[in-house]
């Protein structure tokens, strides 16, 4: 989808953080942009940032776990801007803490937002995109925790790994159609994810206050760092836009995570039995439509340098 000018984007979690960074990058590229968010105050603040521009931006209050709300949001977006061409399923919550002490409420909140928030967007908009038949692109936000496990973030990693598999499968399914698919793996970004997680958690999924403990029963370690070294949301938005234009399956932001990716992939390769392939089994695998390797991976291009202004 190289030409985006005049096209319409729908972004969840679009009123702050990475979603707002995408909204800015898309609008600056000449797109019409719908920013959807559960927080009205955040929507108002985001629209104030666009007030001095002539960008076509429209806010919609949306709880991504509300399926009826999705239908209403889609109808409103299309009534304002017409067909949706880019669907950025970015809304998410950061659930931290060891799985040993996580509750059903923690799991439910995590899954409802981080997984079903993406599922609800796909079920709502993918048929609409297929019906209008124009060139489109779907990008869902995973995480560096979606390709490499992070201790004390098991719930979050579970959801983000799910998004990875969902987008890779969708890209395979839609290969050869006008709809491209990307999985977005951001590293540390200057966002307020931790603060908004508590803000948007519904009352019926709140836990009783408990002392924080780590897997060893002790209080968790506190890490100190300078958040100013994190990537800005504006740069993140440009990187996502570049990935959409290139048709990349994987959109990465931080080269610093390359050693971790290599270490995990090397471990997977070392786990493979060193023995001849059973050709009869391989032939059966092909019958199910899955090759010994997925050709969509071959289309990922080499990325050289940050996006240019």
Q: Using one digit for the tens of pLDDT, what is the confidence trace for 169-180? A: 999 999 999 999
Residue 78, judged by CB atoms within 10 A of its CB (0-12, 13-18, 19+), counts as: middle
DSSP code string of 200-239: H--GGGPPPP-----TTSSPPPPP---GGGSBPHHHHHHH
Whether residue 94 is predicted with pLDDT greater than 90 in this model: the reply is no
CATH number of 8-299: 3.40.50.720
| Mean pLDDT on 65-89 | 98
Asked if 189 and 253 count as a contact pair (C-beta separation under 8 A), the reply is yes
Question: pLDDT value at position 84?
Answer: 98
Q: Show the tokens assigned to 280.
A: 């009869």
Q: Show the tokens assigned to 79.
A: 């009534």
Question: pLDDT value at position 10?
Answer: 98
Nearest CA-CA partner of 18 in 297, 262, 243: 243
Active site residue 116: no
Whether residue 223 is predicted with pLDDT greater than 70 in this model: the reply is no
Task: Give the distance from CA 262 to its chain's centroid.
Answer: 22
Question: pLDDT value at position 197?
Answer: 67
Residue ranges of the domains in the chain? 8-299
DSSP code string of 256-285: GGHHHHHHHHHHHHHTS--S---HHHHHHH
Mean pLDDT of the chain: 90
DSSP code string of 8-36: EEEEETTTSHHHHHHHHHHHHTT-EEEEE
Nearest CA-CA partner of 179 in 188, 191, 171, 190: 171
From residue 170, how far is each of 154, 173, 182, 204, 275 by CA, in Å?
Answer: 24, 5, 9, 33, 32
Percentage of the residues of the chain whose pLDDT score is greater than 90: 70
Q: Give kind and range of the element (H or E) at residue 247.
A: none
Whether residue 282 is predicted with pLDDT greater than 90 in this model: the reply is no
Res. 100 pLDDT band, cuts 50 70 90:
very high
Whether residue 219 is predicted with pLDDT greater than 70 in this model: the reply is no
From residue 26, how far is each of 21, 121, 287, 299 by CA, in Å?
Answer: 9, 19, 41, 24
Q: Show the tokens assigned to 275.
A: 């023995």
Q: Show the tokens assigned to 90.
A: 């970015």
Asked if 257 and 143 count as a contact pair (C-beta separation under 8 A), the reply is no
Residues near 298 by Cβ (< 8 Å), separated by ≥ 6? none
Q: Using one digit for the tens of pLDDT, what is the confidence trace for 130-189? A: 999 999 999 999 999 999 888 889 999 999 999 999 999 999 999 999 999 999 999 888
Task: State whether residue 65 is helix, strand or coil.
Answer: coil
Nearest CA-CA partner of 93 in 149, 169, 204, 16: 16
**Single pTM value for the model:** 0.90
Taking the alpha carbons at both ends of the chain, their separation in whole angstroms is 19
Nearest CA-CA partner of 59 in 80, 88, 85, 29: 80
Q: Which one of the listed residues 156, 185, 293, 297 is annotated catalytic?
A: 156
């Amino acid at each position: 989808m190289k030409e985006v000018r005049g096209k319409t984007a729908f972004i969840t979690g679009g009123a702050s953080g990475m979603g707002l960074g995408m909204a800015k990058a898309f609008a600056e590229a000449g797109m019409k942009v719908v920013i959807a968010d559960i927080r009205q105050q955040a929507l108002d603040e985001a629209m104030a940032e666009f007030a001095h521009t002539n960008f076509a931006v429209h806010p919609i209050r949306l709880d991504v776990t509300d399926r009826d709300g999705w239908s209403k949001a889609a109808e409103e977006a299309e009534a304002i801007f017409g067909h949706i061409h880019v669907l950025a399923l970015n809304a998410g919550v950061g659930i931290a803490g060891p799985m040993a002490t996580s509750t059903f409420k923690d799991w439910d909140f995590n899954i409802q937002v981080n997984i079903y928030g993406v599922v609800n967007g796909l079920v709502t908009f993918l048929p609409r995109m297929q019906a209008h038949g124009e060139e489109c692109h779907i990008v869902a936000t995973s995480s560096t925790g979606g390709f490499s496990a992070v201790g004390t973030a098991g719930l979050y990693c579970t959801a983000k790994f799910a998004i990875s598999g969902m987008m890779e499968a969708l890209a395979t399914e839609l290969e050869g159609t006008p709809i491209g698919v990307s999985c977005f793996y951001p590293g540390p970004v200057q966002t307020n994810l931790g603060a908004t997680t508590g803000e948007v958690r519904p009352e019926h999924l709140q836990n009783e206050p408990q002392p924080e403990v780590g897997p060893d029963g002790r209080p968790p370690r506190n890490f100190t760092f300078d958040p100013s070294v994190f990537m800005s949301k504006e740069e993140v938005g440009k990187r996502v836009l570049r990935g959409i234009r290139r048709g990349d399956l994987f959109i990465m932001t931080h080269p610093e995570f390359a050693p971790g990716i290599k270490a995990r992939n090397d471990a997977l390769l070392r786990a493979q039995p060193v023995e001849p392939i059973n050709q009869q089994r391989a032939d059966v695998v092909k019958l199910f439509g899955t090759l010994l390797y997925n050709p969509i991976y071959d289309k990922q291009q080499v990325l050289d340098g940050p996006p240019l202004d």
